[in-house]
Amino acid sequence: MPYEDIYRRSIDDPEGFWAEQARAIDWHVPPQSILDYAEPPFRRWFAGGMTNLCHNAVDRHLDARGDQNALIAVSTETDTTREISYRELHREVNTFASVLRALDVGKGDRVVIYMPNMAEAVFAMLACARIGAVHSVVFGGFAAHNLALRIDDATPKLLIAADAGMRGGKVIPYKPLVDAALQAAASPPPHVLIVSRGLDPDHARVEGRDVDYATLRAEHDGREVPVEWLESNEPSYLLYTSGTTGKPKGVQRDVGGYAVAMALSMRTVYDVGPGQVMFSTSDVGWAVGHSYNVYGPLIAGATALLYEGLPTNPDPGIWWELCARYKVRTMFSSPTAIRVLKKQDAAWLRKHDLSSLKWLFLAGEPLDEPTATWITEGLGKPVIDNYWQTETGWPVLTLLPGLDLKPVKFGSPGLPNLGYRTRVINEATGEDAAPGEKGVLVIVPPLPPGCMTTVWNDDKRFLSSYFGHFRELLYSSLDWAVRDEDGYTFILGRTDDVINVAGHRLGTREIEESVATHPSVAEAAVVGVQDELKGQVPIVFATLRQTVATTPGEAADGMLRCVVDQLGGVARPARVYVVNALPKTRSGKLLRRSLQALAEQRDPGDLSTLDDPNALEEIRRILERGPDGGS
């Protein structure tokens, strides 16, 4: 069926359309109504229906494909490979669920998971889903401060952690970070379940709190735990995303709507079906990791390939060797990763047999045309950009090769996905922007299934953060966009103070607060600037306290340490500039956009409201001189 016809039906008759899509998953009790939209913008999809994510991802496939690989976990860091069938996955998940039950975890309890891309992370997620617990996976690269914030917001019954991760052959102990986070947290869980990989065998144990998974696994191995059937709109998991304030937002996902969206997107967007292999290079701690490392492929009855390691180790052809070895059909990665590979010899792209690889999808940040051209020509495969957010859980803008592939336009993620009624509107008037005119990308509610239902424990923040920007009730993506005459949308960047570093969303406010903890800092401003490799990187402008004796270089190094210690290496500023004054308006508002423009060698704009016109000129000279810290 042509894209235009099925898209129009998804918009004009959403209840009829989604009733059909709901047949792709198993329901213990069928939905009583497809859409309950009594309290806009809150909506309840498949209301009254009872289902379970773990059942749809694992149990229902046992008869038809029990011996097929469900999960392939490859680590070039630990030099291990595990090929796990659906039957073996069922056993491991049941064992893990039994361990959770023994630790008094049940329906509605939250479980924080702090692990790298290893098979047990998937077991833990699915075990939570099986018993109706709400998991919150925290990226293993986040520091103790970030972990503590998420613990206090989720108030978990249990924290599950690996003893350590690895990156580039370097062991990264997780247990000291966990201990520091729990010491700082106001609501630490009563138990910490440690999944030891033997990477940090001498890690400290807290008597009565810390529990060894291997010991409990041996006790519970082979036990079966019945599925907990959940109403479609009960929470399935929380995933935290940076906001414009220091406090991260807990994106809350439902059960039934998410399962239906995963089933539909695997078929229409990613063109992956039962028995086929999908390779997503994301970390399980990110939205892509949830949707297309774990739930999407398994719900589809496909094989999920999970990878821990760098794209260049043991050589720059490792990803393509894995695609050849396991006959990957669809691969999903990020523009940043491709830009890393772009620095290597293009011959690595052609060294392995990629005859089974049909599609490469890239998302997480805008895909620049040179990178898209390089990888398309190098692989000789279609490269498809797609745009979505942690909040949406699956693509908003994309092409649909599994349904009706429209022409690729480099620089654009494509057309509105099924169920998404998108507009690009003028920020000032709220009217639709003309083709070629810059505006804000918005979604007309109700949001389709699979999107966030609210911010965890904070409906007011959900409304103000996403629906409070225009007179009309609209979901704001907080991204600038342009739409062309053919309906293709081009994403231009953020409208708020959140920056996108290699697909990782970081709040500038969070980084500013970390910088300000250094005793020499009087005031700091953080802006995101364009970067050829990572898309954007944070840079710091800071003024120093007159009462503290330190050199600019020493202060800059200290600021970098504060950020890494509190937020993790992913948030490390690329550069630090020590300045005498920050540019402000006469009313005291900091002109971050002017700082960003200067850093990117652009026109800083109207400076008529500046309190001190000399401040920007001084910063211009400092930028020419070079940073005091960073690389």
340 pLDDT more than 50: yes
pLDDT > 70: percent of the chain: 96
- 18-51 pLDDT, tens digit each: 999 999 999 999 999 999 999 999 999 999 999 9
Assess whether 117 and 11 both reside in one domain.
yes
Which strand ranges, in their side-by-side order, compose the sheet holding 383-385? 80-85, 69-75, 303-308, 277-280, 330-333, 359-362, 383-385
Q: Does 281 fall in a domain?
A: yes
- pLDDT greater at residue 353 or residue 523: 353
| Residue 522 structural domain | 498-630
- pLDDT greater at residue 436 or residue 247: 436
pLDDT value for 367: 82
Three-state SS for 199? coil
Mean pLDDT within 160-174: 94
Q: Does 27 fall in a domain?
A: yes
Assess whether 401 and 550 both reside in one domain.
no
- pLDDT greater at residue 628 or residue 268: 268
* Final residue before a domain boundary, out of 443, 463, 478: 443
Q: How far apart are CA 286 and CA 138, in angstroms?
A: 8
Assess whether 437 and 543 both reside in one domain.
no
pLDDT value for 610: 63
- 460-492 pLDDT, tens digit each: 999 999 999 999 999 999 988 999 999 999 988
pLDDT value for 185: 96
572 pLDDT more than 60: yes
Q: How far apart are CA 494 and CA 357, in angstroms?
A: 33
CA 520 to chain centre: 34
CA 350 to chain centre: 30
594 pLDDT more than 90: no
| CATH number (domain holding residue 52) | 3.40.50.12780
Q: For 190-204, 251-265, 432-446, 497-511, which range has the lowest pLDDT when averaged over its residues?
A: 497-511
Instruction: Grade residue 525 by pLDDT with cuts at 50, 70 and 90.
Output: confident
Mean pLDDT within 543-548: 77
pLDDT > 90: percent of the chain: 73
Q: How far apart are CA 515 and CA 512, in angstroms?
A: 5
- 75-116 pLDDT, tens digit each: 999 999 999 999 999 999 999 999 999 999 999 999 999 999
Q: Does 335 fall in a domain?
A: no
**Amino acid identity of 90?**
H
pLDDT value for 547: 67
Q: Does 322 fall in a domain?
A: no
* Whole-structure pTM value: 0.85
Assess whether 110 and 192 both reside in one domain.
yes
Beta pairing, strands 164-167 & 170-173: antiparallel
Provide the Cα torsion 545, 547, 549, 550; round to 10°: -10
Beta pairing, strands 191-195 & 158-162: parallel
138 pLDDT more than 90: yes
pLDDT value for 246: 61
Contacts for 8 with CB less than 8 Å, ≥ 6 apart: none
pLDDT value for 494: 74
Strands (E), 10-132: 33-39, 42-47, 50-51, 69-75, 80-85, 110-114
Asked if 562 and 519 count as a contact pair (C-beta separation under 8 A), the reply is no
Assess whether 430 and 294 both reside in one domain.
yes
Q: Does 458 fall in a domain?
A: no
Positive/negative CA dihedral, 396, 398, 402, 406 = positive
Average pLDDT of every residue of the chain: 92
Strands (E), 265-388: 277-280, 303-308, 330-333, 359-362, 383-385
| CATH number (domain holding residue 557) | 3.30.300.30
Three-state SS for 522? strand
Instruction: Grade residue 73 by pLDDT with cuts at 50, 70 and 90.
Output: very high
Assess whether 504 and 407 both reside in one domain.
no
């509605």: which residue's tokens?
108
Mean pLDDT within 65-78: 98
Instruction: Grade residue 586 by pLDDT with cuts at 50, 70 and 90.
Output: low
- Number of folded domains that form the chain: 2
Mean pLDDT within 61-78: 98
- 359-394 pLDDT, tens digit each: 999 998 778 788 888 899 999 999 999 999 999 999
Assess whether 174 and 253 both reside in one domain.
yes
Assess whether 272 and 408 both reside in one domain.
yes
Radius of gyration of the chain (CA): 24
pLDDT value for 530: 87
Asked if 476 and 389 count as a contact pair (C-beta separation under 8 A), the reply is no
Whether a cis peptide bond, with omega within 30° of 0, leads into 446 is: yes
Q: How far apart are CA 363 and CA 294, in angstroms?
A: 17
Assess whether 172 and 304 both reside in one domain.
yes
Assess whether 48 and 161 both reside in one domain.
yes
Q: Does 408 fall in a domain?
A: yes
Assess whether 509 and 390 both reside in one domain.
no
617 pLDDT more than 90: no
pLDDT value for 587: 46
Mean pLDDT within 296-318: 96
Q: What is the DSSP string of 490-507?
A: EEEEESSSEEEETTEEEE
Q: Does 613 fall in a domain?
A: yes
74 CB burial (10 A radius; 0-12, 13-18, 19+): buried
Q: How far apart are CA 146 and CA 57, in angstroms?
A: 30
Assess whether 416 and 520 both reside in one domain.
no
Q: Does 353 fall in a domain?
A: no
